[in-house]
Amino acid sequence: MARGLLGLTVDELSAELGSRTRAIELLKWLWAQPWDRAELPDTVPGVSHRVWRPFARTHGLTPLAVRSRQQSPDGTLKYALGVAGGEVEAVRIPAKGRSTVCVSSQVGCTRRCAFCATKELGYAKSLTAEQIVAQVHLARAESPADFPVRNVVFMGMGEPMDNLDEVLRAVQVLTQGPTPQLRAESVTVSTSGVVPGMRRFLAESKASLALSLNATTDEVRDRLMPHNRTWNIGSLLDVLREAAARWPRRDTFVEYVLFEGVNDTDADADRLVTFFKDLPARINLIPYNPYPGTGLRTPPTERINAFHDRVVRQGQLCLVRWPRGREIAAACGQLVLAQNAQGFSPAPSAT
Instruction: Tell me which residues touch ligand SAH (CB under 6 A).
Output: 115-116, 155, 159, 190-192, 212, 214, 255, 257, 286, 288-289, 332-333
Helix (H/G/I), strand (E/B), else coil: 141:
helix
Least spacing, CB of residue 255 vs ligand SAH, in Å: 3
Q: For the residues of 327-349, what is the DSSP string, one character each?
A: GGT-STT--S-TTTSTTPPPPPP
Indicate the residue among 37 and 223 with the shorter CB distance to ligand SAH.
Answer: 223
**Pairing mode, strands 149-154 and 123-126:** unpaired
Residue 172 Cβ, how far from ligand SAH at the closest point, in Å?
Answer: 19
Instruction: Tell me the closest approach of the beta carbon of residue 52 to ligand SAH, in angstroms.
Output: 38
Query: Is 332 designated active site?
Result: yes
- Choosing from 89, 130, 159, 166, the catalytic residue is 89
List, in order, residues 6 or more apart from 309 with CB less than 8 Å away. Answer: none
Report how far apart the first and last C-alpha atoms of the chain are (Å, whole number): 38
Nearest-approach distance from CB 37 to ligand SAH, in angstroms: 30
Which one of 109, 113, 116, 332 is the catalytic residue? Answer: 332
Q: Nearer to ligand SAH by C-beta: 4 or 160?
A: 160
In this complex, which beta carbon is closest to ligand SAH, that of residue 3 or of residue 250?
A: 250
Nearest distance in Å: CB 206, ligand SAH: 19
- Position with the least CB separation from ligand SAH: 333
25 included as an active-site residue: no
270, with CB counted inside 10 A (0-12, 13-18, 19+), is middle
Length of the chain as a residue count = 351
CB nearer to ligand SAH: pick between 61 and 286: 286
Q: Which is nearer to ligand SAH, 126 or 214 (CB)?
A: 214
Do residues 216 and 275 make contact, with C-beta atoms less than 8 angstroms apart? yes
> Sheet of 65-71: strands edge to edge?
65-71, 77-83, 86-95, 98-102, 149-154, 187-191, 208-212, 252-258, 281-287, 318-320
Residues with active-site annotation: 89, 332
